């Protein structure tokens, strides 16, 4: 199979879909790795690194899309890229379709087969291709939130850890999954007073057993959330419904009750955001203010640490990429129900229920496409 990896073109996106190590593995399995010239530069990988791994360097994205059987990326294809997708071509990347009707329409029109990293599952009920970036985004959230809190950036001018005689920042993390756990851990490590909210008692017991008094936890109700948010210096939104649009947990009306200059960091912005006032921003222009509250809503947070993120994502995606290349998408998905759960689009048909529900579109069963 010819596996193509174009340069990411989303603003301020420095990650790359294949590392040189992944290219080497593909070549060792008898496939061709086609890498766009300069694709790995932002993550610290040179064209020479890819050539040494046995890959072929291709000058343009147009050549990659025209030649490759499978396209491996990081972010969802942008409009110009979607026009280059073709019937029968396999796309393996993050998609986040639920809040994005335009992308969904274009993928359906293209006739391609699209497998989304974020909906591939594992035997434990986890999301193994989302988890690495959730870990990175979770650990970044307090870091970028602390920067947003600085007075020069419009924030309250509060130091996360305080100093002797001055209380630390109060941080509320909504969601106790992978993002929330890593965010709480780092915020607590910075010396902040941290409370994590979740609706699973099992998860809260786990967090209490593992982290003890490192940070507090509380069952998430609308009342508890409103009370904690009112007193918070920073709120980190870390909720996820796999493949679906994120629920709105803080309304615009609640902003007036918050401290002036408080920071909202919405890690769920890829799925539409979990604050009513969230809108996607970029690393070049990451923050904005609504009703006196600062918002940080960068849609590709892990892109800020592109080398770490690329390596972490590559470690997770490599086995799935090889299975798709070795067997073809249909057999690979028939053999692995967890990979099948990643199938979102095939030949003009939508195959993921949560996306259909979010966009009001008909859905066909993914399993029906691999039977027989």
Residues that are catalytic: 96, 270
Structure tokens at 303: 């892109």
Structure tokens at 43: 């993550």
Structure tokens at 332: 């690979």
Structure tokens at 87: 């019937």
Burial 256-266 (b: 16+ CB within 10 A, else e): eebbebbbbbb
Q: How far apart are CA 281 and CA 230, in angstroms?
A: 24
Structure tokens at 1: 């199979």
**DSSP SS3 for 101:** helix
Cα 169 versus chain centre, distance? 27
- Cβ atoms 156, 234 nearer than 8 A: no
What pairing do the DSSP bridges indicate for beta strands 287-290 and 293-296? antiparallel
- Cβ atoms 319, 92 nearer than 8 A: no
Segment holding 166, helix H or strand E: none
Report the side by side order of strands in the sheet with 287-290. 216-219, 193-198, 170-174, 234-237, 263-266, 293-296, 287-290
Q: How far apart are CA 50 and CA 33, in angstroms?
A: 9
Q: Is 263 left (phi over 0), alpha (psi -120 to 50) or beta?
A: beta
Going from the C-alpha of 157 to that of each of 147, 164, 261, 286, 288, the distances in angstroms are: 9, 17, 8, 18, 16
Segment holding 108, helix H or strand E: helix 101-110
Sign for the CA dihedral angle at 296, 298, 301, 306 comes to: negative
DSSP 275: B
* Three-class DSSP labels, 298-315: ECCHHHHHHHHHHHHHHH
Q: How far apart are CA 39 and CA 123, in angstroms?
A: 33
């Amino acid at each position: 199979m010819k596996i193509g990896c174009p340069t990411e073109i989303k603003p301020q996106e420095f990650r790359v879909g294949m590392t040189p190590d992944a290219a080497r593995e593909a070549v060792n399995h008898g496939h061709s790795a086609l890498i766009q010239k300069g694709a790995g530069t932002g993550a610290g990988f040179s064209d020479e690194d890819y050539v040494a791994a046995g890959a072929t360097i291709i000058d343009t994205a147009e050549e990659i899309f025209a030649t490759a059987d499978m396209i491996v990326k990081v972010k969802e294809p942008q409009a110009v890229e979607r026009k280059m997708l073709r019937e029968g071509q396999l796309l393996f990347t993050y998609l986040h379709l639920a809040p994005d009707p335009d992308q969904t329409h274009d993928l359906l029109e293209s006739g391609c087969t699209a497998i989304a990293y974020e909906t591939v599952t594992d035997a434990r009920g986890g999301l193994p291709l989302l988890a690495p970036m959730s870990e990175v985004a979770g650990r970044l959230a307090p870091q970028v939130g602390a920067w947003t809190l600085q007075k020069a950036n419009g924030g309250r001018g509060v130091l996360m850890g305080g100093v002797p005689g001055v209380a630390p920042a109060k941080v509320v993390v909504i969601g106790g999954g992978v993002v929330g756990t890593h965010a709480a851990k780092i915020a607590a490590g910075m010396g902040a007073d941290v409370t994590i909210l979740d609706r699973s008692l099992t998860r809260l017991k786990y967090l209490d057993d593992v982290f003890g008094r490192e940070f507090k936890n509380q069952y998430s109700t609308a009342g508890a959330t409103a009370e904690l948010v009112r007193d918070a210096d920073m709120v980190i939104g870390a909720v996820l419904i796999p493949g679906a649009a994120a629920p709105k947990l803080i309304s615009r009306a609640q902003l007036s009750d918050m401290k002036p200059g408080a920071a909202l960091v919405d890690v769920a912005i890829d799925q539409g955001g979990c604050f009513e006032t969230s809108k996607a921003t970029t690393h070049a222009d990451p923050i904005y203010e609504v009703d006196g509250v600062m918002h940080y809503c960068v849609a590709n947070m892990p892109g800020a640490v592109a080398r770490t993120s690329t390596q972490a994502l590559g470690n997770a995606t490599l086995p799935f990429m090889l299975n798709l290349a070795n067997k073809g998408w249909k057999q690979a998905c028939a053999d692995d129900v967890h990979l099948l759960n990643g199938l979102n689009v095939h030949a003009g048909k939508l195959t993921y229920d949560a996306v259909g529900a979010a966009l009001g579109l008909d859905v066909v069963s993914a399993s029906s496409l691999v039977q027989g």
